[in-house]
Amino acid sequence: MEKLQCTCGHINPPGTILCESCGRSLTKEEQNKKLVDMRYEGTARRSQTYNKSIIDKIWNFFSSVKVGVGIIVVLLVAAAIGTILPQAQYVNVPVRNEATIKAYYADVYGEIGKLYHFLGFHDLYGSIWFIVLVGMLAISLIVASLDRFVPLYRSLKNQRVLRHKSFMNKQRIYAEGAAPEDTLQKAEQKLKELKYNVTLDKNGLLAEKGRFSRWGPYVNHIGLIIFLFGVMLRMIPGFYVDETLWIREGETRAIPEAPGYFLESEKFTFETYTGEGEEEKFGEAIERVGSVAKNYQTDVVLYQTPEQSLPGATDEMERVKEEGIQVNQPLKFDGYAVYQMDFKLNELRAMTFDLTNKASDESLGTFTVDLVKPEKSYDLGNGAKVDLLGYYPDFSGFENGEPKTATPVPNNPGFLVRMFTPETPEGEVSFIVIQNTIEPLGENQYKLTFQGAETRNVSGLTIRKDKTLPILGLGGLIFMIGVAQGMYFNHRRFWIQQQDNGVVLLAGHTNKNWFGLKKDLDQVSEFASLPPYTDQQEEIEKLEKLKKEQRMEGDEVS
């Protein structure tokens, strides 16, 4: 493509529609139009001009609005497909791995589920192609904005005051006619009053207001790019922490990924609405659904060890603060946040047993085993005592005669004991699990009977630290500013020229809200006695409507 020389002598970049200097239409097509296309000030959108190397072709591809909208639509459809069946992260399987998840989709959703999993839709939003799509959207945002912003900025920056008549009379708002001598000065005065920036050149005037609104689209795109950049950073290890901590009442635990910080759970509370007193009004609703949760709360104490202290050494811990962690009220410290996410109620914490004579049912006393701190021996007095030989919190059977535990959690506690009484000074060995007793060394005279238990609750907490939040927030803020800037403000311009014969030419343009522009112009016209203007767009429409009606009447007649 060649550069275009306008009749005014200015040389324009290839692809330009309206001369950058005087505003004459440069293409045949444009010359035949009744109104000029002002969308990008008639500048050459950069991508349209060159189409040579492969890089240029890729660039042009991403610069197109059509492609941009295409990417948006593909993303939209993809996102919708991801909601047809639940995503893998929301699927409930006892053991989480590829195989169980695959099996889950096949079992629960049948053939459709199999296909869904086969196509990778169970992890659609984390899939490579989805990330590539979002990436393409980002490229489109950047390329399309650069391509339009740069020439628009240049052309608005280098605006000439004096434009050719053919530019002026193809503006939507146009006036031509006689006016008094001082009309330019008066117009200038009034326009300044209306907060327009006025530039004068010889016998012409350019008044402009709200140019910044033209940058709105680019500002909001910058916001989106910043947001996407933040999202990208989150994928880099170290930018955010997401850990789970199960903590029992009374326990003190190191907070994962937060070196030097410890958390003690004092109490976990689970409340439901009672429907009484203050809550009486909710009675009907509670009755319908059974029960409604009111509060999940873990009362914690946060500790910190001194700077120089090492993992494992907890004696120098200092209390930082006490807080009740609730849903919607995470514990915050040092950039971290600890959330109430889950709980388990009534885990065994202590068990009480009674040592009794099998024959006479006579009790020799009771003792309580603290499952957190079992002791070697429990003295019941009167010569009776029970020695604990082994404790198996989650008894799962014997292996080579040795009791085994499946987990460290007291789901099914087993105790190997030796019971001493005055009658049996040698001691009798017994193995006790809930509702079962084994006497491995022969029939005993004494037994332990389960009396009662104390329980405690377990809180499921999530620890988060997200360094990208400020970036994401900034992106969102800039996006909103850009949207407001572009949508709620508008760029208004008037060109006025007084020709040698006293005739005044006037043209007006705005990117939106013509009503507001006309209101401004009415004030100026009145004050400066400008010739009456016409809205050429309306004229064209009226004409078309008239033609159409005539045609319709013609139809009816025939």
Q: List binders of another protein among 337-356 (CB under 8 A).
A: 337, 339, 341
Alpha-carbon separation of residue 341 from 110, 325, 432, 463 (angstroms): 32, 10, 35, 10
Q: Are strands 252-254 and 261-272 parallel, antiparallel or unpaired?
A: antiparallel
Query: 178: which strand partners?
Result: 503
Which stretch of DSSP H or E encloses residue 430?
strand 428-433
Report which residue type is found at 528: A
99 is a contact residue toward another protein (CB under 8 A):
no
* Selected binder of another protein within 1, 119, 132, 546 (CB under 8 A): 132
75 is a contact residue toward another protein (CB under 8 A):
yes
Nearer to another protein, 84 or 441 (CB): 84
Give the Cα separation of 65 and 144 in Å (integer): 7
Residues from 289 through 348 that contact another protein (CB under 8 A): 292-296, 309-314, 326-328, 330, 337, 339, 341
Nearer to another protein, 13 or 365 (CB): 13
Give the Cα separation of 106 and 99 in Å (integer): 11
* Selected binder of another protein within 126, 306, 452, 470 (CB under 8 A): 126
Task: Specify the 3-state DSSP secondary structure of 391.
Answer: strand
Give the residue from 294, 298, 244, 247 showing the smallest Cα distance to 269: 298
266 is a contact residue toward another protein (CB under 8 A):
no
Q: How far is the CB of 263 from another protein (least distance, A)?
A: 9
Give the Cα separation of 261 and 343 in Å (integer): 22
Report the C-alpha dihedral over residues 304, 310, 314, 317, rounded to 10 degrees: -30
* Selected binder of another protein within 273, 333, 450, 527 (CB under 8 A): 273
Q: How far is the CB of 341 from another protein (least distance, A)?
A: 7
108 is a contact residue toward another protein (CB under 8 A):
yes
Residues from 43 through 62 that contact another protein (CB under 8 A): 50, 53, 55-56, 58-59
- Region near another protein per CB under 8 A, out of 382-390, 519-527, 528-536, 549-557: 382-390
DSSP string, 265-310: EEEEEEEE---SGGGGGGHHHHHHHS--EEEEEEEEEEEE--TTPP
* Selected binder of another protein within 1, 115, 487, 546 (CB under 8 A): 487
Q: Give the binding-site size for another protein (rule: CB under 8 A).
A: 106
Helices and strands, counts by H and E, the chain: 13, 24
Query: 79: which strand partners?
Result: none
Task: Specify the 3-state DSSP secondary structure of 58.
Answer: helix
288 is a contact residue toward another protein (CB under 8 A):
yes
* Selected binder of another protein within 38, 254, 350, 453 (CB under 8 A): 254
- Region near another protein per CB under 8 A, out of 27-35, 78-86, 431-439, 442-450: 78-86
Residues from 508 through 537 that contact another protein (CB under 8 A): none
Residue with tokens 């006579």: 362
* Selected binder of another protein within 1, 35, 76, 441 (CB under 8 A): 76
483 is a contact residue toward another protein (CB under 8 A):
yes
Query: 300: which strand partners?
Result: 265, 323
Residues from 150 through 179 that contact another protein (CB under 8 A): none
* Selected binder of another protein within 434, 438, 480, 552 (CB under 8 A): 480
Give the Cα separation of 524 and 184 in Å (integer): 10
73 is a contact residue toward another protein (CB under 8 A):
yes
Q: How far is the CB of 449 from another protein (least distance, A)?
A: 22
DSSP 125: G
Check: CB of residue 468 under 8 Å from CB of residue 261: no
Check: CB of residue 288 under 8 Å from CB of residue 281: no
Residues from 390 through 409 that contact another protein (CB under 8 A): 390-391, 393-394, 404-408
453 is a contact residue toward another protein (CB under 8 A):
no
285 is a contact residue toward another protein (CB under 8 A):
yes
Give the Cα separation of 255 and 268 in Å (integer): 17
Burial of 278 (0-12, 13-18, 19+ CB in 10 A): exposed
* Selected binder of another protein within 19, 22, 138, 517 (CB under 8 A): 138
Q: How far is the CB of 124 from another protein (least distance, A)?
A: 8
* Selected binder of another protein within 376, 422, 426, 555 (CB under 8 A): 376
Nearer to another protein, 406 or 441 (CB): 406
Nearer to another protein, 45 or 164 (CB): 45
Q: Hey, CA dihedral for 187, 192, 196, 199, is it positive or negative?
A: positive
218 is a contact residue toward another protein (CB under 8 A):
no
Burial of 506 (0-12, 13-18, 19+ CB in 10 A): buried
Give the Cα separation of 386 and 416 in Å (integer): 10
Retrieve residue 189's tokens: 């005065």
Nearer to another protein, 165 or 464 (CB): 464
Residues from 406 through 435 that contact another protein (CB under 8 A): 406-408
Q: How far is the CB of 179 from another protein (least distance, A)?
A: 32
Task: Specify the 3-state DSSP secondary structure of 434.
Answer: coil
* Selected binder of another protein within 15, 23, 68, 413 (CB under 8 A): 68
128 is a contact residue toward another protein (CB under 8 A):
yes
Check: CB of residue 265 under 8 Å from CB of residue 251: yes
Give the residue from 397, 396, 388 showing the smallest Cα distance to 369: 388
Binding mask 178-217 for another protein (x = CB under 8 A): ----------------------------------------
371 is a contact residue toward another protein (CB under 8 A):
yes
* Selected binder of another protein within 232, 320, 429, 474 (CB under 8 A): 232
Nearer to another protein, 362 or 370 (CB): 370
